[in-house]
């Protein structure tokens, strides 16, 4: 199933001149994966206790192409606001995660400083899709008492991008830490 999906992702990305067009088509292509759970293996639920979530790479296109992975969020855990510096499509597979959109309201003129405001919140469950543009900022948390699993597709490998992580309470921005990924 993943092999066929990778072929379809390549085709869809090649057919669309803009990231927005590709993201819309990719969102539709991913939705059936939430309905047919036969491809979801138990090991996709493995997490790294230190980071509070587990990332499993399903496919990483060579030459800085797209990245397809799952993320399993432990109950009560999440990740601080961050950007991706590429387009993204995230779809819920199992459980529930809260996706919070943030907007940067300062001009970015002071190194290490950033002022964010909360914009919206989306509850991502099985089949719910959330899309991102390169400069979008979001945070994720799992407020439930069980793990949540989601599928993530990005236009580029996140490990090869200089991304930022934000602390809205302290008003700071720093390089995003490198995440532990299975299959890296």
Q: CB–CB of 99/108 below 8 Å?
A: no
Instruction: State the Cα torsion 91-47-84-175 to the nearest 10°.
Output: 160
Q: 9-53: per-residue pLDDT in tens? A: 999 999 998 889 999 999 999 999 999 999 999 999 999 999 999
CA distances from 88 to 43, 47, 50, 81, 152 (A): 23, 22, 25, 15, 7
Q: Domains in the chain, start-ordered, CATH in brackets?
A: 2-182 (2.60.120.10)
Q: 80-94: per-residue pLDDT in tens? A: 999 999 999 999 999
Rounded to whole angstroms, the Cα distance separating 173 from 166 reads 4
Q: CB–CB of 149/72 below 8 Å?
A: yes
Quote the pTM value: 0.94
């Amino acid at each position: 199933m993943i092999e066929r999906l990778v072929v379809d992702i390549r085709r869809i990305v090649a057919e669309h001149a803009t990231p927005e067009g590709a993201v819309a088509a990719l969102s539709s292509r991913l939705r059936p994966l939430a309905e047919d759970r036969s491809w979801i293996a138990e090991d996709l639920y493995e997490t790294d206790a230190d980071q509070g979530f587990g990332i499993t790479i399903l496919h990483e296109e060579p030459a800085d192409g797209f990245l397809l992975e799952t993320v399993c969020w432990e109950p009560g855990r999440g990740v601080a606001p961050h950007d991706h510096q590429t387009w993204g499509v995230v779809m819920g597979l199992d459980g529930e995660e809260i996706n919070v959109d943030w907007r940067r309201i300062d001009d970015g003129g002071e190194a290490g400083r950033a002022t964010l405001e909360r914009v919206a919140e989306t509850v991502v469950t099985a089949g719910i899709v959330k899309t991102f543009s390169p400069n979008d900022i979001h945070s994720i948390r799992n407020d439930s008492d069980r793990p949540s699993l989601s599928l993530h597709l990005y236009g580029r490998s996140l490990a090869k991008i200089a991304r930022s992580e934000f602390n809205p309470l302290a008003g700071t921005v720093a390089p995003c830490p490198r995440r532990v990924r299975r299959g890296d």
